[in-house]
Amino acid sequence: MQKRKLGSLGLEVSAIGLGCMGLSSGYGPAADTQDAVKLIRTAVARGVTFFDTAEAYGPYKNEEVVGEALAPFRDQVVIATKFGHAFGRDIRELGLDSRPEHIRQVAEASLKRLRTDRIDLFYQHRVDPAVPIEDVAGTVKDLIRQGKVTHFGLSEAGVQTIRRAHAVQPVTALQSEYSLWWREPEHEILPTLEELGIGFVPFSPLGKGFLTGAISADTRFGSTDMRSIVPRFTPEARKANQALVDLLGQIAARKQATPAQIALAWLLAQKPWIVPIPGTTKSHRLEENLGAADIELTSADLRDIGAALSKIILQGERYPPFLAAMVDR
């Protein structure tokens, strides 16, 4: 597996990481713990060194699974986790809490669940408008001084928030949604990250599974699958957005690859400091995703993709209103 530097602070990771959320929550019932541990360890054997989790995934269960899986390989891998949420009975009651005392409490609890003495990359999961970002960055700076955290990250943060945080404690990476069907970061976020030397970690790089071609207008989602409440996953939106999947299929056939691999290779081709974190519960999908690192899209390929994309109008918001309200602007 090739390696990449996330930003200018020396954090080196595999070119493709593993997003672990789906092993515990988000897309239906949690995977069996030992199956999840096996999948994560398979990823390690295949050269993956970057693993993404959060206290919110489960909540809490995902960090425990990641901690168990990676304990034998702790010094060979980079573990990213997140703080900043308050939890209710279900996802619709998810709140924000980035008070300094809460950040410190989350750090201690995450260290225990992850079975480690340091968090390699500690993200603010969502910007909390009730807490100045300078206070958040200062608290993480203290945790870094104490050796409990190595790098500071932000998630779904806007340009001004990034700049203000970076002035207090250098930000190593931003994690936000970015893919062929959500390209908003290209307007302001990517130029800012390049200017400041901050790496970028796209989550949902396969459009929550849509870009794989395995989802159609007829697909039904269970009540515990977050896609059941996402506007972009209504049957009407999926039918309209099928044009993008068809485009990926055409390119994949030409490159002897799969649509998912083309979608990931496209992300890797955008900037050398971009590291996508596709998630899966299946070993054959893991192998497929990691194979994207070996696919080279030429400048002509990228031009063709860009030209074709310009003719496709995607439908549906990426978040329901209560989650969209948590995205910093």
Q: Is the dihedral of CA 15, 21, 23, 29 positive or negative?
A: negative
Stretch (H or E) spanning 151: strand 149-155
Q: Residue 51: beta bridge partners?
A: 18, 79
Q: Which of 57, 60, 123, 178 is catalytic?
A: 57
CA distance 172 to 9: 6
Tokens for 109?
Answer: 């609890």
The answer to whether 123 is a known catalytic residue is no
CA distance 221 to 88: 22
CA distance 293 to 258: 13
CA distance 290 to 287: 5
Burial label for 282, CB within 10 Å (0-12, 13-18, 19+), is: exposed
- Give catalytic residues, as residue numbers: 57
